[in-house]
Amino acid sequence: MKLRKIKFTDLIIHEDEDYIIVNKPPHLASLDDRQDPVNLKLLSKQYLETSQINHRLDKETSGILVIAKNPESYRHFSIQLQERKIEKIYHAIAWGRHNFTEMLVEAPLEIKSNGKVVVSKTGKYSATIFKSLEIYNKVTLIECKLITGRKHQIRIHLASGDAPIINDDKYTGANLFLSDLKKKYKPKDEQEEVPLMDRFALHSYSLKFTHINGKELYIEAPYPKDFERVIKQLKKWG
């Protein structure tokens, strides 16, 4: 298997004596991955042996991820995470025209034996607040504020509200093609058209927490190239 060349220092958007905060690219696992020897945990350990990843993102999800440099800072962040004192904002591109204004979705989630997560009365309490940022012809750019942090929470809460994330086939989100936006568009030379993205469109955009030094720390992560490219097409044709 050919190893991907990822320079860890290129991912760093903030670093101090206690934390490293990175903008994780899509298709990079946060932790150990049987299908890929390269992961963020390995890269961070190569950069600093004492580093510990404080939370995780799905492999396809891009954006902010916090890495502690020492056990004290790891514990400090983890306590805030458990007590739901950390503000985490994601951006998603979802199917449909939706005018969400601080819409609270409370739908309990349960992990099935096959790994799929479903809304279930017997599931754990899960809550997300949604706000529309830009409404295009067929899709909407949505701000997603996590109240809880369950597995696949944003993806399922949006899908359950008839707003599945584009390219998220696991939760009813069909692929987005340029032909969906541009009238009479056809690929060149009768080639098969490919989606505008090769993953579901979810990005961990910002994070706010109390640093171990007592000060509030707020960080934003710019969109990766694939997410930015879709936004550009939407502004042009959507």
Distance, CA of 120 to chain centre: 23
Q: Is 132 helix (H, G, I), strand (E, B) or coil?
A: strand
| Residues of the chain below pLDDT 70 | 1-4
Q: Is 229 helix (H, G, I), strand (E, B) or coil?
A: helix
CA 126 – CA 232 distance, rounded (Å): 32
Q: Which of 32, 36, 58, 168 is catalytic?
A: 58
Which residues neighbour 124 within 8 Å (Cβ) at sequence distance 6 or greater?
A: 108, 109, 110, 148, 150
> CB-side exposure of 185: number of CA atoms within 13 Å?
13
CA 40 – CA 24 distance, rounded (Å): 8
Q: How high is the pLDDT of residue 9?
A: 96
Distance, CA of 24 to chain centre: 9
Candidates 3.30.2350.10, 2.30.110.10, 3.40.50.2020, 3.40.50.410; correct CATH number of 8-237? 3.30.2350.10
pTM score, whole prediction = 0.94
Q: How high is the pLDDT of residue 1?
A: 35
Q: Does 162 qualify as catalytic in the annotation? A: no
CB 197 within 8 A of CB 177: no
Angle at 210 (CA atoms; ends 205, 211), nearest 5 degrees:
100
Domain boundaries, the chain: 8-237
Question: Which two structure tokens, joined as six digits, stand for 145?
Answer: 């504020």
By the 10 Å C-beta count (0-12 exposed, 13-18 middle, 19+ buried), 36 is classed as: middle
Closest CA to 68 of 22, 32, 15, 20: 20
- Tens digit of pLDDT for each residue in 94-115? 999 999 999 999 999 999 888 7
Question: Which two structure tokens, joined as six digits, stand for 20?
Answer: 């490293």
Q: How high is the pLDDT of residue 81?
A: 95
- Tens digit of pLDDT for each residue in 178-217? 999 988 888 777 788 999 999 999 999 999 999 999 999 9
Q: How high is the pLDDT of residue 107?
A: 94
b/e per residue, 12-26, with b = 16+ CB within 10 A? eebeeebbbbbbbbb
Q: How many residues in the chain?
A: 238
Q: How high is the pLDDT of residue 4?
A: 63
H/E stretch holding 159: helix 153-160
Query: Which residues make beta-bridge pairs with 36?
Result: 33
Q: How many CB atoms lie within 10 A of CB 29?
A: 21
Q: Residues 161, 167, 172, 178: what is their CA dihedral angle, to the nearest 10 degrees?
A: 90
Q: How high is the pLDDT of residue 2?
A: 42
Amino acid at 33: D
CA 138 – CA 181 distance, rounded (Å): 8
